[in-house]
Structure 1
Amino acid sequence: MGFQGSCPGCGGEVEFRFENSVTLTCPHCGSLVGRSGDALEDYGKASDLTQTDSPLQAGISGTVKGRTFDISGRIQLQHPEGAIWSEWFVAFNSGERWGWLAEAQGRYYLTFPKDLPAEVDIPDYDEITIEHKITIPGSGRMVVVEKGEAQVVAAEGEIPVSVRPGEEVRFLDLQGSSGKYATLDDNDGQWELFLGREISLRQLGISDAIESRQSELAAAAAVSASCPHCGGAIEVKDPAKAERYACVYCDSLLDCNDGNLKFLKALKQKASPTLPLGTKGELRGRAYTVIGFVRRQADGFNWDEYLLQTPRLPFHWLIHSDGHWSLGKPVSAGDVTMTYSNAAYKGQNFKLYEASKPVVKAVYGEFYWKVRLGEQVAAWDFVRSPFMLSREVTQPNKAKPPRRKKKQRGKAGAQARWWYEKADSSDESNDAAEEETAKREVNYTLAEYVPLSEVEMAFGKDLPSVSGIAPHQPYPYKHFYFPIVCVLLAALLVGGLFTVAKLPRKLSTGQVDLVSQFSEIEQGPLKITGGSNIGVTIESSTLRRNEWIWVTGRFYDEKRKKLLYTQGSFAALVRGKGRTRKVISALPASEYTLRAKVTHGSGTRTSAGGALNEKVAIRVEQNVRSSGNLLVLLGAFAVPLGLVGLGHFVFAGRRWHNSNAD
């Protein structure tokens, strides 16, 4: 049931429409009004809302899993380093149940307050480090991805918690597998749990409701301004999120507050972006605008990163090094498992390629954090061609954290930032004090290798040619493996079908008694049809272990009266009680006689009259299988397959040449 009263600040009428809402913003004077029973209290005035291009607004309704909700209001919170995000409050059943909908860098997280199970042991705030693992019953293992502080700077509408301007909160953001998400707020040493998951506007049932807001959202589009240092024309593409702007004309670093620029310092840098700021293109099905440029250096190597913006979607990065390009996007730490030398992401295994501490060497354009020269992160790069999985951990300055006035419900959505840096003590600036924070964060980014030609086509630019091999560059001839193997399998299948279709056909079987050391044998006539192999099997059951027979044979064509010396000839050796089969290629269709000469060796056992007492069986068949044909087929494919494989081996070796992994 609603509640009406007078604002204690201005006397204007205020109305609490939702059950259990305890704070609202007075529509007349902007004061935060709190209620306790029938009593109203003036909590003070908050700052004006920072205008954003958010598709959300108070009053929008939606549906989650069949349950209708209303967006009742929001608070805006600010990191000590300046970034602002919104946390919306959604009321189910007119406020009987409340949810927290956090919005940050185009991503949305819906969480609900939950009682923290007694068996969950969470250390004190000061003892927790980034990537600390916490197991929450029902949600599994969660990973701490951000540890920091924030301050309430603005509010709008009705809110289910007590909110005062300037209140500060210490929080932990956690990510789990498959989009699970949680926030832990430190309330005077007691943890408060808010549990949920990442969610899309369509899943919230409000994707259609924002269509009517397109004209309003356009008001938060790019802002044109002049550099306060050199007067150059500047266009801030995303004024709601931009924290810093580096002028491309005079190398000045500017503070950016809703598009209002203030000179901070001269950067004295030398860098020229390959893709100019403002360049537009469509890559991998998504339209981008280049709004920022960062040059980084680690272990003597330089590479460039371009910040890509798509309205109301998470930022992406385009990384350039030695003519190689990669498209990077943020991924959840909860989907990553890692050891010292290996990492896994959604079932895919990655191998450590490099550990480094990259430093910012040049910046141009706008950024959603307060970038400056000398900033540094600790980074680990894991590769699985064509992907690179990067882990980056920020390390805060050693400044004393700001005094906290009160602990209360804080941030429920992580800033989807991909890269944060640590200030270099050797690069002090006149704004260093405001940069010092107690914020710690880990970010995982999945970058996919993009061919040079694809980037050129996407942005309509002629780009520098490729040099060397990138750590995650795929082998350029890898695509040959599949057709070679497919053709080989097809050939084996066809050969197998022919073999099954043509069963062996017996032409003759005979046993011959050897009467002397040298004997001649004839067997026939043999009616042979063309087109299939001939098999001659020779077997002896009377030879001793140290005895052998040597058989040479030829087929005589009875119709043509011709002895086949090459095509229809064979030679075979039989040792002891053994068997030998020789396969002869197909002969022309005709009637043949097999003529064979048999030589007996190492034998001393003869009959009384000097005759041998050996028996030799000879069997002639047609349509027999030939391993020789198979070997020829395999050999024909082994050459190209071997060349491709050898090239792949050499390529992989060169790809790992610059790795510093142990």
Structure 2
Amino acid sequence: MADQAQRRWRAACPNCGAPVEFASAASTTAVCGFCRSTLLRDGETLARIGQSAEIFDDYSPLQLGATGRWMGSGFAVVGRVQRGSDLGNWNEWHLLFDAGADTPRIAWLSEDNGQFVLSLEAPLAERPPEAPGVGLPLTVAGQRWQVAAVVDAALRAAEGELPRPPQAGRVVELRNAQGEVGSLEYRDGGPPIWSVGRGVNLAELALQGLRTTAEGESIAEAKFKGRSIACPSCGAPLEPKLSQTRSMVCAQCSAVVDLPANEARALGFTPQDRGLPPLIPLGRTGTLAPAGEKPLPWTVVGYQERCDIPEDTEDEQSFWREYLLYNRLTGFAFLVDTREGWSLVRTLTGAPAASGDGANWQGRAYARRWTYQAKTTHVLGEFYWPVRLEDRVQVTDYASRDGQWLLSRELQGGEVTWSAGQVLPSAAVQQAFGLTAPAAQFTRDASAFKASGGTLLRNIVIALFLIVLLFALLRACSRDECQGYKDSFGETSNEYRQCRANARGSGVYIGNGGGSYGGYSSGGGGHK
């Protein structure tokens, strides 16, 4: 007979006889921790309805039984579903909140573009309309959303107690201007499941009972000290430092390697030539403090060089660099270095609202600057999404009128990723990371981000005049017409080499004609 005490319910697994416990009256399904049978609760009995695969060890700090607090209410982690798609794998942790409501809340803590989202399920009065294309608006539960992704989510594994039997199915992810994330999960034989959440930091959840070793360090830290996977290109050992790493670059042969979620062999690799070392070395930690935010230490874990793809062969190509930063309590950010300036960028859990040809986000108006295609040309270090060299993405950049705040929308395949950033003084970057390279390599003119139409037109007229004057001067002397790029980025930089190539082809360098100031987006994405 089942044992009923303090709202917990216990019975024997019908397959192996091991005890199976339910902590919530709302949970109808559990996975036996001994034989991996998927069990369905029906009144006072358990029935075996399937078999769950083994959970792959992804070094998450969370585990069943961990507790925390959110918005004044305590919760416990009671279950987990592991899902995946061609965009990567992710966890969805089932949370049980303290008693107090007549109907227990079904809540999930899920991974989202290197961050976390806490969501609550909610009823839907009517079946929502079919999702239009990615990036288009959709009204659900009386609220306006943007479609961020449409994913066929596979079921990898499950454990613990769950509100319903886990299934594979189509997931439509939505975002809005209030910073919320909506999710429609379509299942066979029933209406879609609707949930709404927003981004959270693990630090603010006051988590207790996380996975640790006897020495008190986290499971992720302990296992990654000894984790080693052979490079499929040259056989050298790959030793990722982060549990979230899905791609990394071999230090021996520079191959871009796709990493598995467990201890299996690497999935594949893409060869690449050795590039120039980044201005900020991998592994360097610096403290950055954007306006209005608490100073935080950020460690450089990845580096990528990107460029736009000109629509016309006569257009100049723009290059920029992105440093992937990591803070163990708040997740990931990007330090972006372009010809015009430096900025600190983070992905958004919400989506800015369209406003004419611009966008609004958190009470600030942004004007659209450029729309272009971009690609990644070189990478170093580790990344939380599967990096693909030469993959093309569609980018739209926005800037506030004063040029200090930036937005970017990146479309790739079936997903839209928004990111927001703030301009940083080059001196602050140099000081934060203790850099000693020549000052010319850090100085950028951040005023180029300003979104004032009159100022932009005036700058264009002045720039054209200066270009004509510069051409006349260059014809009158024999100096290098690309000396500015050489001084700022170095003789072997992409900027300098592109300038020289243009000069050789046309006899003159015509400046930044492509319009792109360099994709201020996080790149990479990866649903959940």
Q: Same fold (TM over 0.5)?
A: yes
Query: Secondary structure of 2:430's partner?
Result: helix
Q: How does 1:147-296 map to 2 (within 5 A)?
A: 147-163=150-166, 167-188=167-188, 190-201=191-202, 204=205, 206-207=206-207, 215-217=217-219, 218-219=221-222, 221=224, 225=228, 227-232=231-236, 234-238=238-242, 240-257=243-260, 258=262, 262=266, 264-274=268-278, 275-284=280-289, 285-296=295-306
> Contact 1:271–1:362 at 8 Å: present in 2 too?
yes
Deviations along 1:560-590, whole A, 9 cap, x unmatched? xxxxxxxxxxxxxxxxxxxxxxxxxxxxxxx
> Contact 1:278–1:290 at 8 Å: present in 2 too?
yes
Query: Secondary structure of 1:455's partner?
Result: helix
Query: Secondary structure of 1:177's partner?
Result: coil
Q: 1:228 to 1:332 in 2, by over 3 A?
A: closer
Q: Pick from 372, 392, 406 the counterpart of residue 410 of structure 2.
A: 392
Query: Secondary structure of 1:454's partner?
Result: helix
Aligned residue for 2:328?
A: 311
Q: CA deviation at 1:281?
A: 2.0
Q: CA deviation at 1:266?
A: 4.4
Q: CA deviation at 1:200?
A: 4.6
Q: 1:147 to 1:130 in 2, by over 3 A?
A: farther
Query: Secondary structure of 1:457's partner?
Result: helix
> Contact 2:8–2:21 at 8 Å: present in 1 too?
yes
1:111 aligns with 2:119: yes
Q: CA deviation at 1:379?
A: 0.3
Aligned residue for 1:144?
A: 147
Deviations along 1:305-346, whole A, 9 cap, x unmatched? 111111242211111223832211112444x12256322222
1:18 aligns with 2:24: yes
Distance 1:81 1:195 in 2: 22
Q: 1:278 to 1:652 in 2, by over 3 A?
A: farther
Distance 1:445 1:122 in 2: 27
AA aligned to 2:272 is K
Aligned residue for 1:380?
A: 396
1:75 aligns with 2:81: yes
> Contact 2:181–2:349 at 8 Å: present in 1 too?
no
1:363 aligns with 2:379: yes
Distance 1:245 1:200 in 2: 25
Distance 2:201 2:336 in 1: 27
Query: Secondary structure of 1:48's partner?
Result: coil
Aligned residue for 2:139?
A: 134
Distance 2:169 2:456 in 1: 57
> Contact 1:269–1:361 at 8 Å: present in 2 too?
no
Query: Secondary structure of 2:218's partner?
Result: helix
1:32 aligns with 2:48: no
Query: Secondary structure of 1:145's partner?
Result: strand
Distance 2:105 2:404 in 1: 43
Q: Normalising by the residue count of structure 1, what TM-score does the alignment of the two structures yield?
A: 0.59
Q: CA deviation at 1:248?
A: 3.3
Aligned residue for 2:54?
A: 47
Return 5+ residue gaps in structure 2 as ranges: 1-6, 290-294, 311-316, 465-510, 517-528
Aligned residue for 1:354?
A: 370
Q: CA deviation at 1:62?
A: 3.9
Aligned residue for 2:481?
A: none
Distance 2:416 2:327 in 1: 23
Deviations along 1:362-382, whole A, 9 cap, x unmatched? 122222222121111100011
> Contact 1:383–1:471 at 8 Å: present in 2 too?
no
Q: Pick from 310, 320, 326 the counterpart of residue 337 of structure 2.
A: 320
AA aligned to 2:376 is V
Distance 1:343 1:47 in 2: 45
Distance 1:216 1:270 in 2: 34
Q: 1:72 to 1:376 in 2, by over 3 A?
A: same
Distance 1:72 1:52 in 2: 17
AA aligned to 1:343 is A
Q: 1:659 to 1:652 in 2, by over 3 A?
A: farther
Deviations along 1:223-255, whole A, 9 cap, x unmatched? 5535353354543121x3211112233121222
1:452 aligns with 2:426: yes
Distance 1:386 1:252 in 2: 37
Distance 1:134 1:648 in 2: 39
Distance 2:34 2:165 in 1: 20
Q: CA deviation at 1:172?
A: 1.5
Distance 1:36 1:250 in 2: 57
The percent identity for this pair of structures is 24
> Contact 2:334–2:346 at 8 Å: present in 1 too?
yes
Q: CA deviation at 1:148?
A: 1.0
Distance 1:180 1:161 in 2: 24
Which protein is bigger by CA-based radius of gyration?
A: 1
Q: CA deviation at 1:83?
A: 2.8
Q: CA deviation at 1:211?
A: 11
Distance 1:647 1:82 in 2: 41
Query: Secondary structure of 2:233's partner?
Result: coil
> Contact 1:381–1:389 at 8 Å: present in 2 too?
yes
More strand by share: 1
Q: CA deviation at 1:36?
A: 2.6
Query: Secondary structure of 2:170's partner?
Result: strand
Distance 2:100 2:157 in 1: 24
Deviations along 1:536-579, whole A, 9 cap, x unmatched? xxxxxxxxxxxxxxxxxxxxxxxxxxxxxxxxxxxxxxxxxxxx
Deviations along 1:92-123, whole A, 9 cap, x unmatched? 429951322223156433333322233xx733
Q: 1:115 to 1:14 in 2, by over 3 A?
A: closer
> Contact 2:321–2:336 at 8 Å: present in 1 too?
yes
Q: CA deviation at 1:63?
A: 4.3
Deviations along 1:338-364, whole A, 9 cap, x unmatched? 256322222222222211110121122
> Contact 1:4–1:16 at 8 Å: present in 2 too?
yes
AA aligned to 2:303 is F
Q: 1:208 to 1:472 in 2, by over 3 A?
A: farther
Instruction: Name the structure, 1 or 2, with higher relative contact order (CA <8 Å, separation 6+).
Output: 2
CA RMSD between the two structures: 3.5
> Contact 1:267–1:373 at 8 Å: present in 2 too?
no
Distance 2:463 2:207 in 1: 48
> Contact 2:121–2:194 at 8 Å: present in 1 too?
yes
Q: CA deviation at 1:194?
A: 1.5
Q: CA deviation at 1:42?
A: 4.7
AA aligned to 1:245 is M
> Contact 2:399–2:449 at 8 Å: present in 1 too?
no
